[in-house]
Structures are given as structure tokens and as C-alpha cells.
Amino acid sequence: MFLVCLLLSSFCLFVKLSDGGTVNLLSRSYGVYNFNELGLQKCTSSHVDESESSETTYQCASHEMRVFGAIGSGASSVVQRAIHIPNHRILALKKINIFEREKRQQLLTEIRTLCEAPCHEGLVDFHGAFYSPDSGQISIALEYMNGGSLADILKVTKKIPEPVLSSLFHKLLQGLSYLHGVRHLVHRDIKPANLLINLKGEPKITDFGISAGLENSMAMCATFVGTVTYMSPERIRNDSYSYPADIWSLGLALFECGTGEFPYIANEGPVNLMLQILDDPSPTPPKQEFSPEFCSFIDACLQKDPDARPTADQLLSHPFITKHEKERVDLATFVQSIFDPTQRLKDLADMLTIHYYSLFDGFDDLWHHAKSLYTETSVFSFSGKHNTGSTEIFSALSDIRNTLTGDLPSEKLVHVVEKLHCKPCGSGGVIIRAVGSFIVGNQFLICGDGVQAEGLPSFKDLGFDVASRRVGRFQEQFVVESGDLIGKYFLAKQELYITNLD
């Protein structure tokens, strides 16, 4: 059994790994978080009466995740795209190694923040977490923000219009106000890369791994962590700091998003950057190019004296935020003008195709989830017959699947996709066309240089010529459309053709 005690300023954190593959994060102040391959259980108890306790369970099992390539990485984690098999939803999976001592506290802080703020406006949604014994990693499942970050938007547009920024930062301030006023947390890493948005136009704050908890509004932090580029003067001086440090970072992020330029020289090393922040006057936008309200908001956030900066609550009533409320800025239209939803869906075509065939050729205990890939208006066509609705389609596909499996499941026919094409279809949908061969095997394989799911071999790893093993060919076409939830997709139309099947 593995047991470690990490001494912190306000509490003691224990990490215990049981023989049964369960990780326990035990915090004297915040309760117990139990992780295993099936998900996360949060147990809390009253400080007054230990008999008063509560439990919250997040069902998010490792075997129900199909993991794909990395979409980003930070100092403490790697973020990958994944599909949650039961609901076919694309998620962002943040992986943290619990055996790296400096990352354990970041893990607990992130889990605490996400568990206690489910679906709060302005903060990224939490879907659960699980432990993988083989890798020693805990994976945190977050909503997949398919519009990317404000940093991604700046790479395309160079600068963001004031009305859009007003609406964006109104939502982000609501999330920051909650972190400060309700959760008593200093985020400590506010920057454009950690301010995300989805294609529905919902901006959200992410990455709470280095957040610091303050017991009351007068408490102060005293640690030097975070991105130096957006760090406030008091943090650079290694003074105690509090919520105003986030306000400084927010002001710099807004300055960069509005002007298209970071106001300091950041390419001459961190020491030079820190000296600029400490010694130079606070930057202000060109008043001839920007509204008085925008300049006033920036000036308020970038006060050198932290006590002079307004709170997140106060900034919610700032004229820059209230000025554009009546305009009802359509953030979804703005984001979709930057990142075409159809192109975004085309980028996911490999993932969705692998997901479907992995279900079809995979284990029986997961196959029943395929039914929810369809709606009641979905249509599946095969051998001259048309099936409509999820029940009919699932029944027809199950019959085909059983035929391909035959009497000897160990010698079933599985798909090898040799060509994959994708093109737009209608408003926001795509057509995926898969062409390939059937071979005798026990798992699905895909060719080419496209994205590949973890645990599945690539076409290059086959070690044999497909033609020599081919027992039939298939061609299949899917029309994929977006569901009501971000990252959720369904098959609106599907056509299957099988030829030369021995």
C-alpha cells in the first residue's frame, strides 16, 4: 500500500493507494476523494459533528472512455480528446500523475473546485474523474470547449471588437466573482489560453490546478506560481497577495484581446519582463482608438496598488460591461465566424468513425450503447431495406453484427478502413464516407496518418498485406449532425454496402 503525507500551509493532504486499485486523497479540511477505474466518490463530513457526512458519486469509468490524441499540455498535465461511450459525447480529458509530489495538491485543488461548482456559469463543466492503475494517472473529464481559447481566436482575428469583449468578459466575471466570493479561491493563472469558449458562444474559465484557497476575504497567498507574463506586481515582488492579483491578470488579458498586442516586451526573458511590470507605468490602450469605457476598465484593473483595484463584483457594473448589454451581442455567431462549425466537425470525423467501428467490432457489453447514436428520425439503409428510428436501426445493425461474428466469435470479421473522406452536408453537418475491407480478427483497425484511439493498432502495425487477408469489402456513408449539447453528435443517415463477402 502506498501512503504519502504532503504538509501544506492550511491542512495535511494524504494520498493512499489501496490494493484494490482505489486512490484516496484525504484532506483534513476538505474530506476524502476516492478514485478508482469506475469513477470518483466525494465524501465530506461536518467539522462540528463527524456523524453528519455526505457522499457524491461521479460515474465516469475508464473503460467507458475512448481516448484520442493530445489537444494541449501544461506544467502539470496533458489534455486529450476522448469520447464517453455511453452518451457518445466528446470530452476533454485532463491527465495528472499522482506519483509526482508537486502535482498532487494541484489535483486536489482542481477536483475540489470542479466538484463544488457543477455547471456554474463562467466555469468549465465537470463530468467526473477516474484512476488508471497501469499509468498511475487520474483523469479529469471536462466539457470539450469546441471554440478553443481566446488565445486561439487572437491567432485568427488579431483583435476582438469591444462589444464582443464586453459580452465575453461579462460572463467570465460572473465565473471569477463566484470563485472569489463564494469559493474564496484565487485562480492565479488567468490568461487568454485559460479563457475558453464553445460554438454556442459560452465563455468559461478553466485550469484551476494552481488556484489557492483563502479562508476569508482578509487572507493572503504567499506562493510564487502561475504564468509570469500575466503576473501582478505584488506577486512578482513576492509579497502576499489575494483576489486583486486575478483582476490584474484579467485586465492584461482584456488589453491583449482588444488591442491585439501584449503591452509588455515579453521576448527578452522573464527577468526583463518582471522589471517592466514593476518599474514601468501601467499600460493603457490608445485613447484615440478605443472607447473611454474600455480604457477605464483596463486602467482600473491595472492599478499597481492591489487595494485600488475593483473586485470582480464591482467590475460587473462597470460601464464597459453594461454599455453593450442592450445590443445583445450574439457570441455564437461571432465564434462561428472564426471557427466554422462544419470544419470543426470535419476535424472530428476520424474520431467519430473510429468510435462507431470500435463499438461495432468491440465487446458485447458496450455494443448496446450504439442505440443512442441515433434519433427517432435517423435512417439506416442496407440491402434495399430502410430502417427508421433508433430501435429499428439498432436491431438491423445487431443482425448484421451477429452475421459477421458467425458461430466462432474468435474468428469474426472486422473492419479495416482503408480510405476515409469527409465533406460538408447542409447546415453544420458532415458526410463521412468509409471504404475498406473485412478481415478475420478480433479488433478494429484503421489506416493512414489520421487520429488513432489509444489501445488500437494503426494500419502500419498490421504486419501483413490486407489484400491477402481480405474476405470482403464494405463502403459506408454517415451523415453526422450536432446534438443539443456541446460535443454531442448523432447519425442522421447511414448507408451500408457490402460486396464480395466470402
pLDDT tens for the chain, 502 residues: list them: 333 333 333 334 445 555 556 666 655 445 577 888 888 887 765 443 444 455 677 778 888 999 887 887 655 578 889 999 999 999 999 888 777 666 666 677 677 777 766 557 888 888 888 888 888 888 889 889 999 999 999 999 989 999 999 999 999 999 999 888 887 888 888 999 999 999 999 999 988 654 444 334 444 444 444 467 899 999 898 888 889 999 999 999 999 999 999 999 878 888 888 999 999 999 999 999 999 999 999 999 999 999 999 999 999 999 999 988 888 899 999 999 998 888 888 888 888 998 999 899 888 889 999 999 999 999 999 999 999 999 999 999 999 999 888 776 667 888 888 888 999 888 778 999 999 888 887 766 666 556 667 777 666 666 677 788 888 999 999 999 988 888 899 999 999 999 887 6
Tell me, what amino acid is at 296? S
94 is in an annotated binding site: yes
Question: Rg of the chain's alpha carbons, rounded to an integer?
Answer: 26
As to burial, measured by CB atoms within 10 angstroms (0-12 exposed, 13-18 middle, 19+ buried), residue 37 is middle
* Partners of residue 83 on adjacent β-strands: 66, 90
pLDDT at residue 262 in the model: 93
Query: What contacts 340, CB < 8 A, 6 or more positions away?
Result: none
pLDDT at residue 137 in the model: 83
Query: What contacts 354, CB < 8 A, 6 or more positions away?
Result: 66, 68, 444, 446, 451, 452, 453, 456
Q: DSSP string covering 403-440, please?
A: HHHTT-GGG-EEEEEEEEEEEEETTTEEEEEEEEEEEE
pLDDT at residue 155 in the model: 94
Of how many residues is the chain composed? 502
Q: Could you tell me if residue 21 is left (phi over 0), alpha (psi between -120 and 50 degrees) or otherwise beta?
A: left
350 annotated active-site: no
Phi, psi for residue 252 in degrees, rounded to 5: -65, -40
Q: In order of start, what are the domains of the chain with their CATH numbers? A: 2-143 (3.30.200.20), 150-338 (1.10.510.10), 341-499 (3.10.450.50)
The active-site residue out of 189, 207, 246, 350 is 189
Nearest to 296 by CA among 280, 277, 317, 313: 317
Please check whether residue 365 is in contact with residue 95, taking contact to mean a CB–CB distance below 8 angstroms: no
Residue 473 to residue 471: CA distance in whole angstroms: 7
Q: Which stretches of 133-243 are assigned E, i.e. beta strand?
A: 137-143, 185-186, 195-197, 203-205, 212-213
pLDDT at residue 484 in the model: 84
